[in-house]
Amino acid sequence: MKDFDLQGRTALVTGSTRGIGAALAQALEEAGARVWRHGHAVEAPVQPQTILQDLLEPAAVNLLFEKLTGPVPDLLVCNAGSFFDKPFLEMDPATFEKTLRLNVEQAYFMVQAFARRLSAESRPGAVVIISSTNGFQAEEGSTAYDLSKGALVMMVRTLAMALAPHRIRVNGIAPGLIRTPLTKTWTEQKPELVRHYEKKILLGRLGETQDLGGSCVFLCSEAARYITGQTLVVDGGLTVGQIGSFSS
């Protein structure tokens, strides 16, 4: 179907040198888009057109966009983010602020910088913001992270409203439990917890990063031209039921 073809489009995917972001960048590339990848400043580039920029640095968003060459991207995937939580009674302002700055503030101003450049050229575009099922359901020991992901769900809605007059669509993807470098430690150390979640997930397994690529391509493509302000949950059915399966 030609509406899924991204030939002639240019995408910027933040946090895309590994994990979910790398899979999203690859999927967009396979659909025909020219893709700019982004990673943390301490990482080595692993692909052509990779920009290294620590998004916690002052003026990081503008610095990142200044490193782009060629056409202004008309597709933006805000995937960069991380987990810094500690127990709620031990949470300190610095850790809380770091979570909100990386997971929420940089995404907000990344979309702003993207939209300013596109609207200056009177060009349409699409944004995909990666949140999490943690934006809908709380998780133990994850207060700051949960708050940040809930903020991203609302960001999709409010920025869709703000940017509709500029012909820029804004949608989101909320992944469930996905095998990534961020989840590797607990999935390897707590097999009993993995088995618990495999019973809770309707499709019977944790997700792989490749499971998210198709939804990202769809939301960026003309196939989704009449969709904006929506967050697509990609979780294998994790959040559908309250309890999960009792079968062995």
pLDDT tens, position by position, 150-194: 999 999 999 999 999 999 999 999 999 999 888 888 788 888 889
- Residue-wise pLDDT tens digits, 9-35: 999 999 999 999 999 999 999 999 999
Q: Whole-number mean pLDDT of the chain?
A: 93
Residue 43 is predicted with a pLDDT of 58
User: Which DSSP symbol is given to 183?
Assistant: T
Q: Are the C-beta atoms of 102 and 81 separated by less than 8 Å?
A: yes
- CATH number 3.40.50.720 is the correct assignment for the domain at 2-234: yes
Residue 1 is predicted with a pLDDT of 73
DSSP for 2-49, please give it. GGG--TT-EEEESS-SSHHHHHHHHHHHHTT-EEEEEE-TTSPP-SSS
Q: Are the C-beta atoms of 42 and 15 separated by less than 8 Å?
A: no
Residue 46 is predicted with a pLDDT of 61
- Residue-wise pLDDT tens digits, 55-93: 999 999 999 999 999 999 999 999 999 999 999 999 999
Residue 112 is predicted with a pLDDT of 98
When pLDDT is cut at 50, 70 and 90, the band that residue 246 belongs to is: low
| pLDDT of residue 145 exceeding 60 | yes
- Sorted by sequence, the CB contacts under 8 Å of residue 127 that are 6+ apart come out as 75, 76, 77, 78, 111, 114, 115, 159, 163, 168, 169, 170, 171
- Sorted by sequence, the CB contacts under 8 Å of residue 33 that are 6+ apart come out as 6, 7, 9, 10, 11, 75, 220
DSSP for 112-139, please give it. HHHHHHHHHTT--EEEEEE--GGGTS--
The residue ranges of every structural domain in the chain are: 2-234
Q: Which of 108, 145, 197, 226 is catalytic?
A: 145
**Can 197 be counted among the known catalytic residues?**
no
- Residue-wise pLDDT tens digits, 182-222: 888 878 888 888 998 899 999 999 999 999 999 999 999 99
